[in-house]
Amino acid sequence: MLLTGAEILIKSLIDEGVKTIFGYPGGSVLNIYDELYKYSKEINHILTSHEQGAAHAADGYSRATGRVGVCLATSGPGATNLVTGIATAYMDSVPMVAITGNVPKALLGKDSFQEVDITGITIPITKHNYIVKDVNELQNIIREAFYIAQEGRPGPVLIDIPKDITANKAIYEKLIPKNVEKKEKHITAKSLEEVALLINECNRPFIYAGGGVNIAGASEEVIRFAEKINAPLATTLMSTSAIPCNHRLYTGMIGMHGTKASNVAATKCDLLITLGARFSDRVISSPDHIKNAKIVQLEVDPAEVNKNVKVDAFIIGDLKVSLESLMPLINNKKNEEWLNNINNLKTIKKLEMPEEGPLTPKFLFEKLDKFDKGDFIITTEVGQHQMWAAQYFNYKTPRTFISSGGLGTMGFGLGASIGAQMAKKDKRVFNIAGDGSFGMNCNELVTAVKNNLPIIVIIMNNNSLGMVRQWQSLFYEERYSETTLNRSTDFVKLAEAFGAKGLRVSMKENLEEVLKDALNTNGPVVIDYIIHSDKKVFPMVAPGEPIDQIIMEEDLK
């Protein structure tokens, strides 16, 4: 069948199982958008307000489902506006295919109107990228891109298509997607035996579970593993929701804003078992701080083994398969004294300090949790509110916490919430934002309203760039350089101007009523939740300090 490049692209996306894409049209992708018009019954295109929002929406769609998210932009500024979203996906190992148009081949390299070398720009932040110079190669490139995005450690792939390629014709033949097999070939008997020996010999095991648990769909395997060896278990920010928060072995988040139980356990264990994690500086602070324990690492990406921390044994391969292969080799363990010590740390309650104002982050999330039956998805922007969302909400099922971890992208959450809501129409999506982060990409409210998405945005409004202000308070002698916002924005009126419902909470007494109102609204809602600008995220570990040197709120009082 002889088809244009644009039609080959759309039919190939359909062949890959794509139902929804997020994008913004422009001159170089007009042929593609013309085909999208013709194939609108097969592919639902969501027009965002900005290309960055399209990338974040594709990212959120992928994180909520595990499938490949797809975004589309024109050449030049359209393509460069995707860059932050692509980098966000790359840092957090999110499978995404970003498609950009470009000027015709004859104009490449001539500083033509709206021309950029987007493949050159995105080399460091993609698993692979392509510029298509022959329409006969287009179909195989698309098929290969989807495979690469999902294979092994997932990540974004970019396909740049000059405009004349979308008009040229080539033979199209329906192809089934390239099969993505779990990586198993490096899971050797030797590596399994070495890891099992260390586990069987240890007395104080501790599990540090990273984002790879969600990516591999290995939550059940991790729980069974932890229960068999009776090891306390912590999650990173990226693996939040992978383990039910009420599980008896769960100690909470680990790292800079981790719990006392998790951080102390990491320094007092005799075996640190690392599952799908990369020893981020925000987790371990410095490798010297965990040198008293032996370390094993189960990881799909061999480049992450011995990169940040020297380990004593490792298994390279798909985490789910690795754990299934390891389980028969390990003994049942009790570790009663060790577990009692960690449980004692878990039961230490933070001293209740006088609150500066009537509303607190903890109060919000505890109240929100009472409405959740396991079908809430929480997306976040980046900052204090992000940490509070990870610390205080009671997550029950995997892939229900979606946040930018590695890149820390302010403005991520609203686009991601749109993608997650499009993917999971049976669930309710909340985007937890700070007033600073919300200001970056609040224009995507237009997208939520146009598509009548029942997203609830909760703005933790403290009139500041809260996390940066917190650092200025603790480490810069309260020199609040450019972190007090002093903006006159009325978020309720802003929401209404976009066509959403706007609500405000300024007293504890009306929070429950406002949440009920929001949940009963068939469409987007923005809740302005007023908190004090000096409210801080605790516990906290100062940068570079040992992770068991924990600053608590009462320490400052």
DSSP letter string, 160-171: EEEHHHHHSEEE
3-state DSSP call for residue 66? Answer: coil
Cα dihedral 333, 326, 63, 91, rounded to 10, equals 100
pLDDT at 553: 82
Q: 492 vs 35, 335, 487, 502, CA distance in Å?
A: 39, 53, 14, 4
Domains of the chain: 2-171 (3.40.50.970), 189-347 (3.40.50.1220), 361-537 (3.40.50.970)
* The pairing of beta strand 456-461 with beta strand 525-530: parallel
67 vs 97, 146, 364, 529, CA distance in Å?
11, 10, 31, 33
3-state secondary structure of 366: helix
Residue 158, H or E segment = strand 156-162
Nearest 5°: phi and psi at 80? -70, -25
What is the pLDDT at residue 292?
81
pLDDT of residue 390: 97
Give the largest Cα separation in the chain, rounded. Answer: 74
Q: What is the pLDDT of residue 350?
A: 47
In degrees and rounded to multiples of 5, residue 513 shows phi and psi of -65, -40
Tens digit of pLDDT at every position of the chain (557 positions): 899 999 999 999 999 999 999 999 999 999 999 999 999 999 999 999 999 999 999 999 999 999 999 999 999 999 999 999 999 999 999 999 999 999 999 998 988 999 999 999 999 999 999 999 999 999 999 999 999 999 999 999 999 999 999 999 999 999 999 999 999 989 999 999 999 999 999 999 999 999 999 999 999 999 999 999 999 999 999 999 999 999 999 999 999 999 999 999 999 999 999 999 999 988 987 777 777 899 999 999 999 999 999 999 999 999 999 999 999 999 999 999 999 999 999 876 544 444 445 799 999 999 999 999 999 999 999 999 999 999 999 999 999 999 999 999 999 999 999 999 999 999 999 999 999 999 999 999 999 999 999 999 999 999 999 999 999 999 999 999 999 999 999 999 999 999 999 999 999 999 999 999 999 999 999 999 999 999 999 999 998 888 888 988 877 76
C-alpha to C-alpha distances, 75 to 43, 63, 122, 138, 260, nearest whole angstrom: 22, 26, 14, 18, 49
Rg of the chain over all Cα atoms, to the nearest angstrom: 24
**Cβ atoms of 143 and 175 closer than 8 Å:** yes
Per-residue pLDDT, 351: 45
Please list the active-site residues. Answer: 51, 113-114, 163, 467
Distances in Å between the Cα of 544 and the Cα atoms of 168, 256, 512 are: 56, 10, 40
The answer to whether residues 377 and 429 touch, using CB atoms and an 8 Å cutoff, is yes
- pLDDT the model gives residue 353: 46
Nearest one of 420, 438, 435 to 56, comparing CA atoms: 420
Dump the DSSP string for 236-258: -GGGTTSS-TT-TTEEEE-STT-
